[in-house]
Chain A
């Protein structure tokens, strides 16, 4: 067995180095919108969704 860490240290993360205006970022905007509109947990995890509910192999 390979050696695993004894504890999980908090990782320092660097300042964002992307040269993007993240406020108008297409990906982030649509995700923020989705998070705002999330419904109940049961509906969220089981509702039929063509894009996401596919096998992962």
Chain B
């Protein structure tokens, strides 16, 4: 799923756009005085090559203090020692996309020659982890769930990478187009998969972090979530495209073509980022993450799932006025978590 808007973008961010972006981010940090993170993602950001990556990171680091994180979401294939040197030099955190053991990962992640990429991803992670100067940069791994896989195999493979944190994404879908592996809107394939993952996680005496499960459990324990897509905390995510245009969260492209575009085309080259962030346009986009569906408004699990990802609420008929297409899955795993927390409280009495 997704749109074709990337075809109209230049392949690379020009020096002018990089300069304007760095100036805008520096100014925004000066104004808000609260750190934020900049994430390089794609596509595959390491296709930039070492020379351009160095220029980009150097300018971003010059513009932002270390309180602001610079991160990279990569498929891991191009994690060479030359690239890793740069990541160390500019303190760039790394998260690698890997979907489990070889047979699970290679089912969907193939290159242009239809070769699975697992062995090369594994080699890239090994290079990163094998260097004492780079290992602290390894934030975690990000796995797209194959609901037909065995969660135990996937958990074991991801843990074996040495990542301090594992995170899991459901596959894209909405009310007009079911996600892969989901038989109907009321079926719970992803919920069952995550429930099994929860059991494995809780049974591990030396567990890494599992972000999605930690966030949901923390909410059930009376705390707060730390990332979008869970709970009702608001998050401010904007995407800067290679031509400098300011866009909404790119996950919205899953809903319909150009769903990530604002009506007026804002740009870091032409407009002030701080003016944009204070505009009614941004307010409207920001409030979109709060679910509007009456089903969500009366749901006892809203505080935990937060209505799910905005993109997964879409239908052509009702726009975003729906629960997430993963509603039944979310509620399945939340029910499992409630039983765990309930048991925990009973044991504490």
Interface residues, chain A, CB within 8 Å of chain B?
1-8, 10-18, 20-23, 25-28, 31-32, 34-35, 38, 41-42, 44-57
**Residues of chain B from 152 to 175 with CB closer than 8 A to chain A in the complex:** 164-165, 167, 169, 175
Give the distance to chain B from A26, nearest Cβ to Cβ, in Å: 6
Q: Which residues of B contact A38 (CB under 8 A)?
A: 223-224
> With contacts A35-B222, A55-B39, A56-B169 known, what are 14 further pairs, Cβ within 8 A?
A1-B315, A4-B323, A5-B295, A11-B331, A13-B338, A18-B199, A28-B344, A31-B221, A51-B140, A51-B165, A52-B165, A54-B73, A56-B227, A56-B251
B276 lies within 8 A of chain A by Cβ? no
B139 lies within 8 A of chain A by Cβ? yes
B322 lies within 8 A of chain A by Cβ? yes
Instruction: Name A8's contact: one of B323, B335, B342 (CB within 8 Å).
Output: B323
Is B229 touching A23 in the complex (CB atoms < 8 A)?
no
Instruction: Name B93's contact: one of A6, A34, A50 (CB within 8 Å).
Output: A50
Please judge, given known A-B contacts A31-B217, A46-B35, whether A7 and B298 are in contact too, CB under 8 Å. yes
Closest to B295 in A: A8
Q: Which residues of B contact A2 (CB under 8 A)?
A: 175-176, 178, 184-185, 315, 325
Interface residues, chain B, CB within 8 Å of chain A?
34-37, 39, 41, 67-69, 71, 73, 93, 95, 139-140, 142, 164-165, 167, 169, 175-176, 178, 184-186, 199, 201-207, 209, 211, 213-214, 217-218, 221-224, 226-229, 233-235, 250-251, 295-296, 298-301, 315-318, 322-323, 325, 327, 331-332, 334-336, 338-340, 342-344, 347-348
Is B202 touching A28 in the complex (CB atoms < 8 A)?
yes
Instruction: Name A54's contact: one of B39, B202, B213, B222 (CB within 8 Å).
Output: B39
Is A13 touching B298 in the complex (CB atoms < 8 A)?
no
Q: What are 18 A-to-B residue pairs whose CB atoms are below 8 Å?
A: A2-B175, A2-B184, A2-B185, A2-B325, A5-B295, A23-B347, A27-B213, A35-B221, A38-B224, A45-B224, A45-B226, A45-B235, A47-B35, A51-B209, A54-B37, A54-B95, A54-B140, A55-B41
